[in-house]
Structure 1
Amino acid sequence: MPGGRLTHEDRRQIASWLAEGLGYAEIGRRLGRPTSTISREVARNSAAGGYLADHAQHSAGRRARRRSPLQAAQSPADGEPAESVRVFVERFAALLAGTGLPRMPARVFVCLLTTGPGSLTSAELVRRLQVSPASVSKAVGYLEAMELVRRDQDTGRRERYVVGDDVWLRALVADTGAHAEVAAAARHGIEIFGAGTPAGLRLERMARFFTWISGQMNGGGLTEAAAGDALTVVAALVHAARPLTAADLAAALDWPAPRVAAAVDAIGRRPDLADPLAVERAGHGTYVVAPRPDRLSPAQREALTVGPRPDCQPASRSS
Structure 2
Amino acid sequence: MTLTVNAPRLTYEDRRRIAAGLAAGHSYAEIARELGRPRSTISREVARNGGPGHYRANQAQQATGWRARRKPGVHQAAPVADDPDGRDPEAVHAFEERFTDVMIQSGVPPTVARILVRLFTSDSGSYTAAELVALLGVSPASVSKAVGWLVARGLVRREREGRHDRYVIDDHIWYQTWQSSVRSMAMWREFAQEGAELLGAGSPAGIRLHTTSQFFQLLTEEMVQAAEHWRRKIGGRRR
TM range (shorter): 0.5 to 0.7
Structure-2 residue corresponding to 1:242: none
Matched to 1:202, the amino acid is R
Deviation at 1:29, TM superposition (A): 2.7
Deviation at 1:173, TM superposition (A): 0.7
Matched to 1:69, the amino acid is P
| Aligned with 1:132 (options 118, 139, 143) | 139
Q: Does 1:69 align with 2:84?
A: yes
Structure-1 residue corresponding to 2:114: 107
> Per-residue displacement from partner, 1:137-176 (whole Å, max 9, x unpaired)?
100001000011012244x554221101221111111011
Q: 1:106 to 1:187 in 2, by over 3 A?
A: same
Deviation at 1:212, TM superposition (A): 0.2
Structure 1 unaligned runs (5+)? 1-7, 45-59, 75-81, 222-319
| Aligned with 2:3 (options 3, 9, 28) | 9
> Per-residue displacement from partner, 1:209-230 (whole Å, max 9, x unpaired)?
1100001111299xxxxxxxxx
Matches within 5 A, 1:150-229: 150-154=157-161, 158-219=164-225
Q: What's the RMSD between the two structures over aligned residues?
A: 3.4
> Per-residue displacement from partner, 1:252-283 (whole Å, max 9, x unpaired)?
xxxxxxxxxxxxxxxxxxxxxxxxxxxxxxxx
Q: 1:132 to 1:205 in 2, by over 3 A?
A: same
Aligned equivalents of 2:120, 2:210: Cα separation in 1:
39
Work out whether residues 62 and 137 of structure 2, in 8 Å CA contact, stay in contact via their aligned partners in 1.
no
TM-score by length of 1: 0.49
Aligned equivalents of 1:126, 1:201: Cα separation in 2:
51
Work out whether residues 63 and 138 of structure 2, in 8 Å CA contact, stay in contact via their aligned partners in 1.
no
Matched to 1:106, the amino acid is A
Matches within 5 A, 1:264-283: none
Q: 1:129 to 1:39 in 2, by over 3 A?
A: closer
Report SS of the residue matched to 2:225. coil
Aligned equivalents of 1:220, 1:84: Cα separation in 2:
33
Aligned equivalents of 2:132, 2:219: Cα separation in 1:
36
Matched to 1:99, the amino acid is S
Deviation at 1:129, TM superposition (A): 1.6
User: Identity over aligned residues, as a percent?
Assistant: 36
| Aligned with 1:30 (options 17, 28, 50) | 17
Q: 1:87 to 1:220 in 2, by over 3 A?
A: closer
Larger Rg: 1
Matches within 5 A, 1:265-304: none
TM-score by length of 2: 0.63
Q: 1:10 to 1:38 in 2, by over 3 A?
A: farther
Report SS of the residue matched to 2:216. helix
Structure 2 unaligned runs (5+)? 22-45, 47-55, 69-75, 228-239
Work out whether residues 24 and 39 of structure 1, in 8 Å CA contact, stay in contact via their aligned partners in 2.
no
Question: Higher relative contact order at CA 8 Å, sep ≥6: structure 1 or structure 2?
Answer: 2
Structure-1 residue corresponding to 2:95: 88
Which runs of 4 or more aligned residues in structure 1 lie more than 3 Å from their structure 2 counterparts after TM superposition? Answer: 8-12, 30-35, 37-41, 63-68
> Per-residue displacement from partner, 1:96-124 (whole Å, max 9, x unpaired)?
22223222212211111111222111122
Q: Give the count of matched residue pairs.
A: 180
Aligned equivalents of 2:149, 2:62: Cα separation in 1:
31
